[in-house]
Amino acid sequence: MRRTLQAAAESFPIAGAFTISRGAKTTAEVVTCTISTSGMIGRGECVPYARYGESVPGVLSAIEDMRGMIEDGIGREDLARQMPAGAARNALDCALWDLEAKLSGIPTWQVISRDAPQKLVTAYTLSLGEPEAMQRQAAEHAWRPLLKVKVGTQDDAARIRAVRAGAPQSAIILDANEGWTPDNLAHHFALCAEARIALVEQPLPAGNDAALRDHARPIPVCADESVHRTQDIAKLADRYDAINIKLDKAGGLTEALALREAAREHGLRIMVGCMVGTSLGMAPAVLLAQGADFVDLDGPLLLARDREPGLHYKGSDVYPPEAALWG
């Protein structure tokens, strides 16, 4: 039976502001896609990211370009051949997964795993700011077992020490968002070791990270902007210890699952992350993150308003999605 495709832009307010080294924002701008047939509706959400040349109008246009193929019944594997990885394909791919689950009555988790999904401990993200403000943020959330901290300036020494002082017992991930340089790498790595940092994410710019190959890494280093597709893994395995898989980068759950397996084959640790979006965007990532070494799926916790129904969070625990939400 023929399908119907719809896509729309939505805006969700962030609680306060979310700041990284590239700037701050107060709303999460998402694109929601629905694919319907036989009385069933599949949904997917994506977050267009300017760092990758994406915008809300551009993503809506890319989805519209696929209307004929989607409504004629294209599958997920063919979709991956017809569209580049990115946010637009993610929304379509996840909507197709959701639709398949509803039509078949088989939950997505049963298709991708032998084991029922369990609750996960997610990181909670602290925005970039002045050291004193970041220490206050860390102290406020020191009860959480895992914090992710945005850094990425020319000298983050005071910030690293301030966050560790504020949350002395929490495991900490530092996300430099490509903000460090080969010249200050040793300085920052030494500070990370001193502060017992668990993981450093994307310290150098994508495409300019070769220095990591021959550089002593006293703490594990994770690729984010440097890795999008399975083909990226082989060339990164000699300079990173882990990869951050995000559905919006990979272009959906289908490619993300393949990316996860490729990373494991190369001995890399797995982190599953997210953009700042709603529970609809996080839901498939919760299934992807089962068994991951690090989980960063706190997007809805950063919002002033989430979807209803949304994912269930209890403290830093995030529970698998109910069928009413996705999958």
What does each of the 327 residues of the chain score in pLDDT, given as a tens digit?
799 999 999 999 998 767 776 667 899 999 999 999 999 999 999 999 999 999 999 999 999 999 999 999 999 999 999 999 999 999 999 999 999 999 999 999 999 999 999 999 999 999 999 999 999 999 999 999 999 999 998 889 999 999 999 999 999 999 999 999 999 999 999 999 999 999 999 999 998 999 999 888 999 999 999 999 899 999 899 999 999 999 999 999 999 999 999 999 999 999 999 999 999 999 999 999 999 999 999 999 999 999 999 999 999 999 999 999 999
> What pLDDT is recorded for position 99?
98
Integer CA distances (angstroms), 294 to 2, 170, 250, in order: 40, 14, 18
> What pLDDT is recorded for position 243?
98
Q: What backbone torsions phi and psi does residue 111 show, to the nearest 5 degrees?
A: -75, -35
Q: From the DSSP assignment, how many helices (H) and strands (E) are in the chain?
A: 12, 14
Beta strand 23-37 with 40-46 is antiparallel
Q: Which residue, chain included where needed, has tokens 């830093």?
A: 316
Domains 4-105 and 112-318 share a fold: no
Q: Any idea which architecture 4-105 has in CATH?
A: 2-Layer Sandwich (3.30)
- Kindly report whether the global pTM for this prediction surpasses the value 0.85: yes
Alpha helices per DSSP H over 105-246: 108-112, 131-140, 157-166, 185-194, 233-236
Q: What backbone torsions phi and psi does residue 16 show, to the nearest 5 degrees?
A: 85, -130
Q: Which residue, chain included where needed, has tokens 């069928």?
A: 323
What are the residue boundaries of the structural domains of the chain, listed by start?
4-105, 112-318
Q: Which residue, chain included where needed, has tokens 């450093």?
A: 200
Half-sphere exposure of 34 (CA within 13 A, CB side): 10
> What pLDDT is recorded for position 202?
96
3-class state of residue 254 by DSSP: helix
> What pLDDT is recorded for position 21?
63
CA 91 from chain center: how many Å? Answer: 14
> What pLDDT is recorded for position 19?
72
Alpha helices per DSSP H over the chain: 56-65, 67-72, 76-82, 87-104, 108-112, 131-140, 157-166, 185-194, 233-236, 247-250, 253-265, 279-288
Task: Report which DSSP code applies to 319.
Answer: P
Length of the chain as a residue count? 327
Contacting residues for 183 by C-beta, under 8 A, at least 6 apart: none
Consecutive H or E run containing 178: none
Contacting residues for 245 by C-beta, under 8 A, at least 6 apart: 227, 256, 259, 260, 263, 270, 271, 272, 273, 288
Nearest to 219 by CA among 204, 237, 197, 239: 197
Report the C-alpha gap between 81 and 62 in whole angstroms. 14
> What pLDDT is recorded for position 104?
97
Task: Report which DSSP code applies to 230.
Answer: G
Task: Look at the domain 112-318 and name its fold.
Answer: TIM Barrel (3.20.20)
Active site residue 150: yes
Task: Report which DSSP code applies to 275.
Answer: -
**One of 102, 148, 246, 249 is an active-site residue; which one?**
246
Report the C-alpha gap between 285 and 96 in whole angstroms. 15
Tell me the one-letter amino acid at 100: E
**One of 25, 102, 148, 150 is an active-site residue; which one?**
150
> What pLDDT is recorded for position 22?
66
